Amino acid sequence: MARFFSQTRIARSDSSELQDASVLVNDEGVIERVGPGLDAPEDAEVLDCSGMILVPGMFDLHVHAREPGAEHKETLSTCAEAALHGGVTGMVLMPDTSPPVDTGNLVKSLQDLISESSPVQMLVSGCLTKKREGTELAGFFGMANRDVAMLTDSDRTIPCPDLLRRCMEYAKDFDLLVTSHCDTPALTKGGAINEGHVSYRLGLPGIPAISQEIAIDRDIRVAQQTGARLHLQQISTANAVKAVGCAKEAGTSVTCEVSPHHLLLSEEEIEDYNTHFKLDPPLRLPRDVEALVAGLLDDTIDAIATNHAPHTEFEKSSDFGSAPFGVTGLETAVLALYDGFVRKGVFGWDLLIRKYSDQPRAIVGLPAVRIEEGQRAEFFLFDPEGETEITPDSMKTKSPVTPFLGRTFSGAIRETVLG
Ligand SMILES: [Zn+2]
């Protein structure tokens, strides 16, 4: 049945103004008409959307869906539900499943599984090295033939710069994007949170900022030398933003992402050894948070990506030092960013859509999603007058672990419409 979204406002990436309009989606899920003063067709279901905002579906470049291999944490199906609940209609899955996605056949079998399990677009990424072991090249040729979105060893750094160079040379030959998590294991060692006064006070081993910064410098150098396209994940320090800015000025083909957590929280927020604040990279200093927001506004930072990394409450309930890194993000990203930035006027819906919908899609070669006639319906209804309390029961992910648990955000996502 056709659906008529009456008297609403549309958010767009190319305008800071919301556009007054009604939207008719036909029974094939295609946007048939958009405009002010439209009359609802007699055979359509009419939804009064006055006060609501229609926002294009978001796209997350950095998701760990855990299937196959760790279905106790998350499955493709629960990951898709969480995404729709958070206004996210597309994503790239990291290859750190069990087995790791390192051949064309494994890419194909995961793509088949996705088409059976998920209504949400899930692009598959592949490993740079076999089994993510950092010793031999993975099956680039087969994976390129299966249209992988990017190649990455996920949260493992390739230890040998010469092997990284060969990875980038091959990636360039196949025109594949190389994605790096940016960590220097010799510096991160057994660290749990940012190295600084909070780690000293809590008596926890620290991860210094240079652990990320040295890796970024190295990976940018190798990208410059090979000409490969490089994407840097989860930028977390002021110097990291500076390094990416310099590389861009020098004409390097590099993009980077930041998480909502690193834009909104610093190490100061870590309280009572709460493992819901244990992230990789760790939450940094307030001045790093300021630099990340500035980097987002001045376009040094291209994209927002959550690093949705579910672990069960049981796994996260061990002590801070031994609990796994990572939290979920798909369901809280839009709400947290709206509450923390859009509502306060730091930036508008236009920038949020550019950074969490248009540019992430562009990085993996997809067109932007628009709420326009002729396009497939792919948007969510946002109620700026509503509010959303983040509780385990309110979440669709299998592992409702997030530093935002217990928070109440202004705004509510009422529905995500997908085709
Ligand atoms: Zn990750």
277 alpha carbon – ligand 1 mean position (Å): 15
Identify the pLDDT of residue 337.
98
370 alpha carbon – ligand 1 mean position (Å): 28
Asked whether residue 45 falls in the same domain as residue 132, the answer is no
64 alpha carbon – ligand 1 mean position (Å): 6
Asked whether residue 125 falls in the same domain as residue 22, the answer is no
Quick check: is 396 in a domain? no
Asked whether residue 195 falls in the same domain as residue 260, the answer is yes
Cα 223 from chain centroid (whole Å): 23
131 alpha carbon – ligand 1 mean position (Å): 16
Identify the pLDDT of residue 257.
98
Identify the pLDDT of residue 271.
76
309 alpha carbon – ligand 1 mean position (Å): 6
Domain at 24, CATH number = 2.30.40.10
> Which residue's entry shows tokens 């069990």?
98
Identify the pLDDT of residue 298.
98
Asked whether residue 64 falls in the same domain as residue 206, the answer is yes
Identify the pLDDT of residue 37.
86
Q: What's the half-sphere exposure (Cβ side, CA atoms, 13 Å) at 40?
A: 15
Asked whether residue 108 falls in the same domain as residue 13, the answer is no
Q: Say how many domains are in the chain.
A: 2
Quick check: is 368 in a domain? no
255 alpha carbon – ligand 1 mean position (Å): 16
Asked whether residue 142 falls in the same domain as residue 89, the answer is yes
Q: For residues 26 and 11, is the Cβ–Cβ distance under 8 A?
A: no
Quick check: is 318 in a domain? yes
Range of the domain at 29: 3-53+374-390+405-418
62 alpha carbon – ligand 1 mean position (Å): 6
pLDDT in tens, 211-266: 999 999 999 999 999 999 999 999 999 999 999 999 999 999 999 999 999 999 99
Identify the pLDDT of residue 75.
98
DSSP percent split of the chain into helix, strand, coil, nearest 5: 35, 25, 45
Asked whether residue 279 falls in the same domain as residue 383, the answer is no
Asked whether residue 134 falls in the same domain as residue 220, the answer is yes
Quick check: is 397 in a domain? no
Identify the pLDDT of residue 78.
98
Quick check: is 369 in a domain? no
Asked whether residue 186 falls in the same domain as residue 297, the answer is yes
Asked whether residue 138 falls in the same domain as residue 24, the answer is no
Q: What's the half-sphere exposure (Cβ side, CA atoms, 13 Å) at 86?
A: 33
pTM exceeds 0.95, yes or no: yes
Which residues in the chain show pLDDT less than 70?
none
Average pLDDT score, the chain:
97
Domain at 75, CATH number = 3.20.20.140
For the purposes of burial, counting CB atoms within 10 Å of the CB of 325, is it exposed (0-12), middle (13-18) or buried (19 or more)? middle
115 alpha carbon – ligand 1 mean position (Å): 23
Asked whether residue 61 falls in the same domain as residue 42, the answer is no
Asked whether residue 203 falls in the same domain as residue 348, the answer is yes
